[in-house]
Structure 1
Amino acid sequence: MYAAYSLCRANLRKKKVHNALIGLLILLSTVLLVTSVTVILNTTNLFTNMHTKTHGSHEMLILDGEVHDPKLVYEWWKEQEGVATSSLIPFRTLSGISRPGHEPTAGLLNLYLYMMDTTARPYEVDELLFAQGVESLVPEPGTVWLPSSIAYLYDISPGDTLEFSTGDSRLSIEVAAVVVDMPFGAPFPTSARIWMNHQDYVAHFQDIPGNDQYMMGLRFEDYSRSSTYWERWQQEMGTPYLGSKTSFQEMSSFYLIMNKMIGFIMVSLGVMMMFVALFTIGFTISDDILSNYKTIGVIKALGLTSRKLIGVYMMQYIMIAAVSVVPGFIASRFLSGVIVDSALSSLKTKTAGVTPGGGWPALTTALLLLALILLCVFYYANKARHVQPMQAIRYGMSETQHSMKTRRLTRAKGSGSPGMLGRAPLLAVIGFRNLLKNRKAAVLMLLLSMMMSAVLVLGFVLLYSISHIKETSPLWGYDSTDVVVQITNKSVFSRSAFDQQAASDPRIENTNWVGAVNGVVTADRPAGVEATYTEPMNFSIIVIDGSYDEIGYRNLSGRNPQNKDEISIGMNVAKQLNKEIGDIVEVYIEGHRHLLTVSGIYQSIANMSYSARILADTVRVNRPDYEDLDSGFINLRNDADLEQVVQDLSSGYGNSASVTTQQTLLYAVYKQAVASLILPMSIMGLLFTGVTVIIVYSLSRINIRKESKTYGIYKTLGLTSGKIRFSILLGVLVLSMIGAVIGALAGVYILPMILGSILSDYGIAKLPLILNWWGIIAFALVTALAAGLGSWASSRIVARTSPQILVVE
């Protein structure tokens, strides 16, 4: 046993640099894998725990009193066993927030606001958790509670003053506290609940035209049985629920999407890195056995058993793995905390953060990685059993390998043709022979270059596509117009006057007006199938007075509606209802039944493709005076006029409408996505770059040691150290460039296809990407440069060593 321990210690001491590099590779693999598992599991767990802690609603109902009596709805649900309800909370809607003394912020100016008439806490459903400020039962007069999703994103704190446009006046009010509001607290907020004092609510809204709307949340003891309650509702009321309803899936989707996407990428790349680590360890052990074949034969001849020889390698890598896995596990805790915090920051409160716990899954992942390393070591170290002492001492290899080598040399001498390498430049021949003689190392370098290039290119393509979302906005389910006008004060704004001004402005090509109504679609029962209850779908329907084609809305198949009998539906609506182009759907719009033909199917991430598009004429069949269109979409003839048009319209309608560019609105929504992606993708890119340099350095160093006598002969024949090093570098660069090209194609086409499978649940069938090939080529070149750096650094041993010593070795 002491002999095995002495050999293990000698191996550790003799190859300090190489063993350190292997340990670093194991550490990085541990960091990436454990981090990915922690991110995926904790994203869901943290959201679920916070939802449970606040008694979060599973469904949110918004009632305007025109379709259903809010009090009747509230009383009906209060009587249902197994369902907890929030109070019936009155609210009015406004558009946009401004901050006195600050530059206007597009994201704040275009928020859709629910101004809540706050009832006294605590709430049975959707309790508010205070993140900043003084906790109280209701907001004090002259103050509001602001949701954390808005406050954190736009750096608003208690004590700041906000302004809202209400009719002919502006409401200036102070932020008293920042609260976690689960149904409206997800990242990428486009709407928010502003919690007001009751006296302030009455004073500011009693004279404004319109009636109160109401909001109530439902929390089921068993959410899977929610359809049973809605079936009972339809039986007792004689009609489906026709109001607005937001499901738990819709409320939770944007809490989870970013970290699920990041976690999926990290798991995929972590597994890739783990296999690189295992392959590297296997290659190192195999090479060590071949390089020391004669020494192993002598040791076995002296009486050391094969089992003890295997134990030498097992002991060596147990030490390296233990030293690497433990700090990797600890580092992953901090890294996963940073990633989860960046995506779920809106859940942070003054008493609790969102730091994820490692738990047994993270520990199991680390132990599994350790077990795989030991199995890999055992498998490759087992080759030492086949070393025969007499053959090893006589040939320095097995007799079979010696015979094969002799036959190759005989064939080479008998061949009169120099072959392709014989006609190539000398330095190229040296570099390529270095790769051909070490094929396993060359294959590992090729695979590593492919993976690094794929990681870097994927990260670049994702970040570039999201940061330039204006170019692909129709493929995400948005418009592609130039200017967006959001009406903030309908009592003052005159649409007819605006249209006249737009028609007379030579810079404006067209203007379309868009609004939204609530829709309910009932599922068909196939003929011959027993009649069972299928819960209707409640979703938002976009209404346009104009042309969808002009504002850039696209479809995956079919076309946008062009007459009042047509409808275009989101892909998840089509999937759930099993509808295709040309099918008829029964739709209730504001309580009125319509039979509409499906003209198109589209994708949209904004509402997970649970939405539809119709013309304003469809609504006017039952409401001839329908004009509730609060967003204008303007296309310009010349993009150079964009800023001037926005400035002119803002100055003319500043008190009644918010005017901004569509690109600014998209950036306001997706800047959080870019911020969430930058950190993990940068970390993964740096890790793979570091791993590439490490492994190429290690492999090149092994190859140079094996060919040291050959390089000594080259130096005695007149080749300088620089030329020898350049020849080694040239071979590695060509090999890594081949891998970089293959990896870049995988990062552009294959990995996004896999990633798209996650987004399909969020309403995106085809991931919209922008391929900037100059950037893709640049990141592919980074792969080659990293491999070249590792190769050049490892070849310094050639320059430092004299030809005589190299030949003697």
Structure 2
Amino acid sequence: MIMELTSSIHHLFTESKTPHVVQMHAGKLDKMKVNEWAQANEMVDKHQIVEMINIDGAHLFFGAEAEKNSIMDLDFVVQNQDFDFLLDLDSKIVQVNDGEIAVPVYYMQQKKLSIGDRIHIKDGSFSRTYKIVAFVRDAQMNPSIIHSKRFVISQGEFQLLKQNTGESEYLIEFRLRDSKMISEFTQAYQNTSLPNAGPVVNYNLFQLLNALTNGVVAAVVILVSLILIVIAVLCIRFTMLATIEEDYREISVMKAIGISERNIKKLYLSKYVVMAGLGSFSGFLASLWVNRLFMSNMMLYIGAAPKTWLHYGITLFAAVFIFAIVVFFCNRVLRRFNYISAVEALRSGSMGETRISQNRLNLSQNRWLSVPVFLGLKDVIQRMKMFRLLLLVFIISSFMMIVPINFLHTLQAPSFISYMGVGQSDMRIDLRHSEDIEQRYAELIDYVQKDKNVLRYSPLVTSQFKVLNSEGSYDHLSVETGDFDVFPLSYVNGAAPKNENEIALSDANSKDMEKKIGDTVVLIVNGQEKTMTVSGVYQDVTNGGKTAKARLPYNQDRVLWYVVSLDLKDDGSQISDKIAEYEQAFTPAKVTDLKGYLYQTLGGTIHQLKLVTVLALVVAVLVAILITSLFLKMLVAKESGDIAIFRSLGFGLTTIKFKYVSMSLTVLGAGVLVGTILSNTAGEWLISKIMASFGASHIVFVIDPLQAYVLCPLLLAATIICTALISIQSIKESSISKMIIE
């Protein structure tokens, strides 16, 4: 998956000729000034200014319904001529004619669109219908966490839209002679008076955001795979020791007649080498097909790069590596032949001699438990060394089931909004930049204040400030200003800013700027340097995680967006009505509820993670079945004499079976308990490490107790009971007479 992801992103960026630096700009633009500066700059190889027509979602129809509740900016563009090409699903440059349109793959997935479907634009008396002829892969705006999407139309249609609807925005794009100059070039541009009413994004951020959704899924799969490798090693041990246990008479005979230990080891090893080879090669072939299931989302958005020998070589190497691990541990287990005699081979269990507790549990002292349950508990307690491997497998199986379930539930929970640098509220209203934006923003605040159904609200404005970096020059920092006590965030360290001299940094910015709580940051506020103290560090997986929060007056010259969050007085049943009310009153504002905001941003990731969670669940159950079966078969073979004695004393088969089931359930109970504790500690830590590169380094699981603490243990318990009953059927063959004959 990692090979597929990295090679596909590289292929997409190469074919589309993704720009190295993009300055987004809303408002009037002096193109001549930009062109003159770019032509005089030696770092610039190519540059272009891309004009976009931004259309309100209320005017765009996929079928009968308008995109009223969309958080996405709907931008209509013409195909670029020099670079930043928008590609179709065959990774070819999209070309459309009048009356045709190419739609982002995001909407293909969300709206279940097909080639030939129609899209309608209606704005007052203006109406236009387009036929979908292609779906667009956009290296800049592909991921759902980027709230802008580009539609490709012809030059004639673009001019028609420009004259009748929407507002113009611009992408000022640069391709550099050397991609290593991105940071230097960005600083040079920001230190000029060129158009900059919008954020600056670069090539590295595009790569990160494209890798984010599929990268999370791949990381979880890798986590499950590493756990499986541990279990595989235990499987090897169980399998070989169970086989040795069954063949101990044959082993003793071979040793007795003079066959060397080396040849006996070769006999066993050759069998496992053949099985390991077939298994590894079959797994490699199967992965070529199964991989498509988990990479379907990536292939839709990014496309599959042409396969090279390196792609197959590295993945085949992984299979060979697993084969080597199997052979290595087979050798390790078979080394035990070097230290036991022929007699020992007949006597010793594969786990080693049973370690009997000093404080023996006496059946005569039992008052509360049935005999088989008591004997099962007694066996587990007094033979801990034997059962510890089974315990470890149950711990790992529980861990492998619970961690993906908890992570999935966390992503779907409303509180996950806090990891996006946003406080939890019923509704969110985003105002786009326009010429009368200040007036519209003031009207919105006034409207909210007079709304009797609003319980609380918080207006927030994000604008850019210049910040002094470690090299003594200035970078641009996106700072959200307002009151952060109304809808508070969970801070990794520290707290929200309380006054104008404090600032909170996102986790990614804190690491990038090497700032911690109590350190100072110098901003340019109203033309003057202002020293700010870092009051807290929060998590943010949006905008590349590079944000900040302060109680400063916002920079009116560099406003990026306006947001108003609010809670309603009732239980939330009227949210849909309120959304419709505010959309109508403040069109083209984007009004969304919390659930809709999360779904539109993370829907693709959640869908892929569901597949991974189901995979982990199935694998954990199958592993539990396999190991329990191997272990009990080995145990029954080892204790065939004891079972025969039990039967001669009058114990029924059901009673003896119940003993082994109770042993398995006792170990399972301890394993689930430890596995659950590890899931909520080590599991959180591992997921946090995975998410750290995306701006969230301190994930706290939102746990569904029914799923994590009831359904998962019950599923494992039912599996273990059925497996135990099937695996110990061979006790029917144990009898005193047979033991005497043997």
Kindly provide the CA deviation profile for residues 248-292 of structure 1, in whole angstroms up to 9, marking residues without a partner as x: 232122321233333333333323322332233234434555665
| Whole-angstrom distance in 1 between the partners of 2:132 and 2:326 | 55
| Aligned with residue 461 of structure 1, among 406, 430, 436 | 406
| Whole-angstrom distance in 2 between the partners of 1:204 and 1:722 | 80
Distance change >3 Å, CA 125–CA 86, structure 1 → 2 = farther
What SS does the aligned partner of 2:696 have?
coil
| Whole-angstrom distance in 1 between the partners of 2:408 and 2:254 | 56
2:277 is aligned to: 322
Kindly provide the CA deviation profile for residues 347-389 of structure 1, in whole angstroms up to 9, marking residues without a partner as x: 238xx79999852222112112212222222222233234445
Alignment of 1:71-470 (within 5 A): 71-81=32-42, 83-96=44-57, 98-99=60-61, 101-103=63-65, 109-116=70-77, 118=78, 123-131=81-89, 137=95, 139-164=96-121, 173-206=130-163, 212-230=168-186, 237=192, 244-286=199-241, 288-289=243-244, 292-293=247-248, 295-348=250-303, 358-389=311-342, 391=343, 396-397=346-347, 419=361, 422-424=364-366, 425-435=370-380, 441-468=386-413, 470=414
CA RMSD, aligned part only? Answer: 3.9
Distance change >3 Å, CA 514–CA 150, structure 1 → 2 = farther
Q: Is 1:485 equivalent to 2:429 in the alignment?
A: yes
Distance change >3 Å, CA 134–CA 541, structure 1 → 2 = same
What SS does the aligned partner of 2:116 have?
coil
Contact kept? 1:135, 1:177, Cα under 8 Å: no
Distance change >3 Å, CA 110–CA 96, structure 1 → 2 = farther
What SS does the aligned partner of 2:97 have?
coil
Residue type of the alignment partner of 2:213 = M
| Whole-angstrom distance in 1 between the partners of 2:121 and 2:423 | 26
Query: What is the number of residues matched between the two proteins?
Result: 732
Residue type of the alignment partner of 1:225 = M
Q: Give the structure-2-normalised TM-score.
A: 0.87
What SS does the aligned partner of 2:19 have?
coil
1:788 is aligned to: 721
What SS does the aligned partner of 1:608 have?
helix
1:508 is aligned to: 454
What SS does the aligned partner of 1:762 have?
coil
Higher radius of gyration, 1 or 2: 1
What SS does the aligned partner of 2:143 have?
coil
2:567 is aligned to: 635
What SS does the aligned partner of 1:304 have?
coil
Alignment of 1:702-781 (within 5 A): 702-778=634-710, 779-781=712-714
| Aligned with residue 474 of structure 1, among 418, 422, 441 | 418
Structure 1 position 760, deviation (Å): 1.6
Distance change >3 Å, CA 716–CA 580, structure 1 → 2 = closer
Contact kept? 2:404, 2:612, Cα under 8 Å: no
Contact kept? 1:450, 1:740, Cα under 8 Å: yes
Residue type of the alignment partner of 1:91 = M
| Whole-angstrom distance in 2 between the partners of 1:362 and 1:508 | 56
Distance change >3 Å, CA 158–CA 65, structure 1 → 2 = same
1:541 is aligned to: 479
Structure 1 position 70, deviation (Å): 4.0
Residue type of the alignment partner of 2:698 = K
Residue type of the alignment partner of 1:99 = F
Contact kept? 1:42, 1:356, Cα under 8 Å: no
| Whole-angstrom distance in 2 between the partners of 1:658 and 1:287 | 64
| Whole-angstrom distance in 1 between the partners of 2:203 and 2:35 | 19
1:12 is aligned to: none
1:676 is aligned to: 608
Unaligned runs of 5+ in 1: 1-38, 526-532
Contact kept? 1:483, 1:642, Cα under 8 Å: no
1:572 is aligned to: 508
Q: Is 1:42 equivalent to 2:4 in the alignment?
A: yes
| Whole-angstrom distance in 1 between the partners of 2:256 and 2:580 | 93
Kindly provide the CA deviation profile for residues 642-669 of structure 1, in whole angstroms up to 9, marking residues without a partner as x: 3364266158538554544222222222
| Whole-angstrom distance in 1 between the partners of 2:465 and 2:363 | 72
Residue type of the alignment partner of 1:790 = T
Structure 1 position 125, deviation (Å): 2.0
| Whole-angstrom distance in 2 between the partners of 1:741 and 1:244 | 49
Distance change >3 Å, CA 481–CA 300, structure 1 → 2 = closer
| Whole-angstrom distance in 2 between the partners of 1:495 and 1:77 | 35
User: Identical aligned pairs, as a percentage?
Assistant: 17
Structure 1 position 51, deviation (Å): 0.9
Distance change >3 Å, CA 79–CA 500, structure 1 → 2 = closer
Contact kept? 1:92, 1:213, Cα under 8 Å: yes
Kindly provide the CA deviation profile for residues 144-202 of structure 1, in whole angstroms up to 9, marking residues without a partner as x: 33222333333233433334576886665443432211111124442112334333333
1:529 is aligned to: none
Distance change >3 Å, CA 578–CA 69, structure 1 → 2 = farther
**Structure 1, 365-374 or 736-745: larger mean CA deviation:** 365-374
Structure 1 position 746, deviation (Å): 1.1
1:58 is aligned to: 20
Residue type of the alignment partner of 1:367 = V
Contact kept? 2:48, 2:174, Cα under 8 Å: no
Contact kept? 1:140, 1:197, Cα under 8 Å: yes
Distance change >3 Å, CA 772–CA 192, structure 1 → 2 = same
Contact kept? 1:569, 1:611, Cα under 8 Å: yes
Structure 1 position 246, deviation (Å): 0.3
Structure 1 position 750, deviation (Å): 0.4
Residue type of the alignment partner of 2:275 = I
Distance change >3 Å, CA 162–CA 230, structure 1 → 2 = same
Q: Give the structure-1-normalised TM-score.
A: 0.80
